[in-house]
Structure 1
């Protein structure tokens, strides 16, 4: 049995999950996930790493489906619940998913597509029908477990395949580093098609035998109401969420501020990640909550790799030191380690590092060195043992609201618009979002930005659509004709 599931057997009556449907204990999670697995197997002995795509609202249903896929021997492919159909279809087709599971809210989006593609279609109602138990496969940890999608320097997202061993390493490392226990109670606000929500919050809590409460959609007022109930003691979010919570806090009366401050002071741990946290927000949050946020560094491909310490000095603007079992180094353009105090690209090695980019052997080979180090593309410097991120080696990756977004992917979509001759997409600094996605356009006619934005949102997820458009006669280019994106960024300031 996978180690993630064992805690559920140790204290079956303990509350595992709280969602909009109520409280659910570990026994219910175990039984429901086994029922999902049995339905998926449909008389087979093993799914043998068949990909199962699922679009389910965060909560007991999501978790039971994900665990059920794993228990049946499948590879879980979580679909983003805010994606439009073209983005969902890309993930389903790229993974060659054979089965699609949808919650009631998303059946209308996916059903016709699934049936048209002759894929096996299952709803939550189907998975809850009574079925005779069956023997579930015995899984080795080297098998594929999950495919999550990340934007890279190519125009289309890449599927990151992790094994059960990778996931166990990612989770157990954080259990140790951040001192998770069965007494913890956390709130999950983060998307469950990303490593931050799936691994750092949900899987860590369930591995430890803790309780995880899901809040969807995010609402700053409701977050504070839940805080005031006094149960939550571990909280993780992205800088954008902290920014919104600060705004909400400042709208409260003085007596409410004092009450919230006293409540948050009792938390055991507060973490920020997925994007750089502005020092100003860090300092403001410390005054509000009494907590100096723990910043860490990770990627879909590696889970968490570097973290400020749970005990000890946390440095604003620094991502910390390598986590247990994680090897990290900085190298130059020749792939040679840089002298102390010099900047270089972060490279990572260890059991948490993913297996491969799904179906992309060449891209996988390019992202690893000949001796097995993963090339993150992030440039950092080490000062007194603490890593500090300086930037990326590619201007085509934009970090906004905790997401890594490919500028090239957005450009591809913009160029399909009949009134756009050419374009270029960049990220510009923003205190709330980290970076804002903005686009420079060379039009073929008059463009209404509101109409264009609505068109873009029909083509791709809202968080990827540009927040600002700039109309130009020509794009800044170098002698080779390549757009100079750093020059372009200056035009938006």
Structure 2
């Protein structure tokens, strides 16, 4: 007999279901918002603001360039490797309006990671920030990428300011390594050519692929989660049901410090906020806390989307403590577990309760959220409207209320599958649509849920997933390393830190191993701690027992 789960009761003002018939595609949603809110600010960055009307025109210009100056067809993939700058929404929305599939790419990737993602996705065009262009040029010949569009950080600013900022970034801060300029096409040139061309809107359906969002899953080999227009529209509508309890359409300013190439920020800032005609303030480098706080001083912000480590870093800054938080109505937390201490400090300092949510790349990403005004600290909130959840034991049997088990999810936001990986899809997604998250959860009597453990060995560093297999594979490429095992250990600043256990055939310093890892891994994946072992604990068949290392 199936375990009976509680009927979810949403707060007054929320709907338990969503109407997916409103939009057939993300471009259709965009067309409505870009025109309805044409005079309102959409995105601001470093002193320059794009209105919805400007975003409409410029994204159409980019779409026209794709249609008239490339041979890309609807359904082809375009890789976008940009930080939080104004160019990101212009390029992504222009690509979607031309019917292309966006492959979001981390600007911090190493050449090895870029090469894998471009080859796996089959992306033929890359739009890259100038600070990454040297790597892009080097990997191009090893991938299907046929053309690289390059943009500098202030390319959308007025001429004098553009020259000043770009020169400072390049010459003084030395943040743009030298690269072969002849190997790339300036994005500004492409937009100018597009403006002189005809843009022809492309019809897409809910079942068409919109985004390939890469995730490591349980194996450490990055896989593309196939997110359709239906997935993205559904999660936008689901999130809106929660957010509308705190925010008013067309009147809010939200701070956007988390990377837009990450599905959490993408859904919040590029879908929900745009659908409601609100304003995003982009923060290109949230690690620069003094610079971040200086930018915050300029705005009366009413919404803030962040994660635990960022909240803590900001609250430790004296200038942040002096900001005016009188307009702040919604603080969203995701990407990693929210600690009680951080949540309580934030509420005391800002007067705004933190609403924590939960999700995965494969679920577009939001599965659940704490409704504003009804948040329960220590939980991941209520399931999103039209989302079914259950927890199962190792035998796949549903567990009753209060009993832990692996959290499984079914709903319109669940991905279509993993790109070109039917076996991986079959492992995590049942034929009737249930996705296994790999996280151990408890469902309470009131329908709120708590995550109690991770079934997967994934390590979460500042909200970014680190997969032990990938790090271990890099470590054993060092000639001195015979075996390695990687786990996560608690860290005050980043939530978790990567710790590596290594068996070596000679003496090798931690510094040398760090240098080796940095050549092949993004910085947050590089182990911070090393421990030497004569041998690693293993099962009878030779599988390393990471749990035993964690218990030690």
Matching residue within 67, 75, 92 for 1:66: 92
- 1:22-33 to structure 2, matched below 5 A, reads 22-33=48-59
Matching residue within 382, 402, 406 for 1:345: 406
Q: Is 2:203 the partner of 1:138? A: yes
Q: Take 1:390 and 1:118, find their aligned partners in 2: how far apart are those partners? A: 42
Matched position secondary structure for 1:469:
strand
Matching residue within 14, 23, 39 for 1:13: 39
Aligned to 1:212: 280
Aligned to 2:269: 201
Task: Compute the displacement of 1:228 (Å).
Answer: 3.2
Task: Compute the displacement of 1:358 (Å).
Answer: 0.6
Larger displacement relative to structure 2 (231-240 or 175-184): 175-184
Q: Is 2:188 the partner of 1:128? A: no
Q: Is the 8 A contact 1:9 1:27 kept in 2?
A: yes
Count of matched residue pairs: 481
Aligned to 1:333: 394
Matched position secondary structure for 1:264:
coil
Task: Compute the displacement of 1:111 (Å).
Answer: 2.2
Aligned to 1:291: 352
Matching residue within 79, 82, 98 for 2:105: 79
Q: Is 2:373 the partner of 1:311? A: yes
Aligned to 1:245: 314
Q: Take 1:15 and 1:344, find their aligned partners in 2: how far apart are those partners? A: 45
Matched position secondary structure for 1:186:
strand
Q: CA offsets, 1:269-310, max 9 Å, x none?
A: 011111111111112222221222101101101110111111
Q: Is the 8 A contact 1:330 1:345 kept in 2?
A: yes
Q: Take 1:70 and 1:154, find their aligned partners in 2: how far apart are those partners? A: 30
Q: When the two structures are superposed, what TM-score results if normalisation uses the length of structure 1?
A: 0.93
State the Cα RMSD in Å. Answer: 1.9
Matched position secondary structure for 2:401:
coil
Query: Which blocks of at least 5 consecutive residues in structure 1 are unaligned?
Result: none
Matching residue within 141, 150, 156 for 2:221: 156
Rate the CA distance shift 1:3–1:490 in 2: closer, same or farther, 3 A. Answer: same
Matched position secondary structure for 2:517:
helix
Matched position secondary structure for 1:141:
coil
Rate the CA distance shift 1:356–1:217 in 2: closer, same or farther, 3 A. Answer: same
Q: Is 2:67 the partner of 1:41? A: yes
Aligned to 2:467: 406
Task: Compute the displacement of 1:116 (Å).
Answer: 5.8
Stretches (4+) displaced over 6 A: 43-46
Q: Is the 8 A contact 1:45 1:137 kept in 2?
A: no
Q: Is the 8 A contact 2:119 2:144 kept in 1?
A: no
Aligned to 1:96: 122
Q: Take 1:465 and 1:483, find their aligned partners in 2: how far apart are those partners? A: 20
Aligned to 1:367: 428
Aligned to 2:454: 392
Q: Is 2:111 the partner of 1:50? A: no
Q: Take 2:82 and 2:382, find their aligned partners in 1: how far apart are those partners? A: 35
Matched position secondary structure for 2:214:
strand
Q: Take 1:106 and 1:435, find their aligned partners in 2: how far apart are those partners? A: 27
Larger displacement relative to structure 2 (227-236 or 371-380): 227-236
Q: When the two structures are superposed, what TM-score results if normalisation uses the length of structure 2?
A: 0.83
Rate the CA distance shift 1:454–1:384 in 2: closer, same or farther, 3 A. Answer: same
Task: Compute the displacement of 1:490 (Å).
Answer: 4.0
Larger displacement relative to structure 2 (280-289 or 372-381): 280-289
Task: Compute the displacement of 1:61 (Å).
Answer: 0.7
Q: Is 2:510 the partner of 1:449? A: yes
Q: Is the 8 A contact 1:239 1:432 kept in 2?
A: no
Task: Compute the displacement of 1:390 (Å).
Answer: 0.8
Matched position secondary structure for 1:310:
coil
Task: Compute the displacement of 1:155 (Å).
Answer: 3.0
Query: Which blocks of at least 5 consecutive residues in structure 2 are unaligned?
Result: 1-26, 150-186
Q: Take 1:362 and 1:235, find their aligned partners in 2: how far apart are those partners? A: 39
Q: CA offsets, 1:410-451, max 9 Å, x none?
A: 111111111100000001122332211110011111112112
Q: Is the 8 A contact 2:285 2:292 kept in 1?
A: no
Q: CA offsets, 1:40-95, max 9 Å, x none?
A: 12368972210111222322211111011111111001211111111111110010
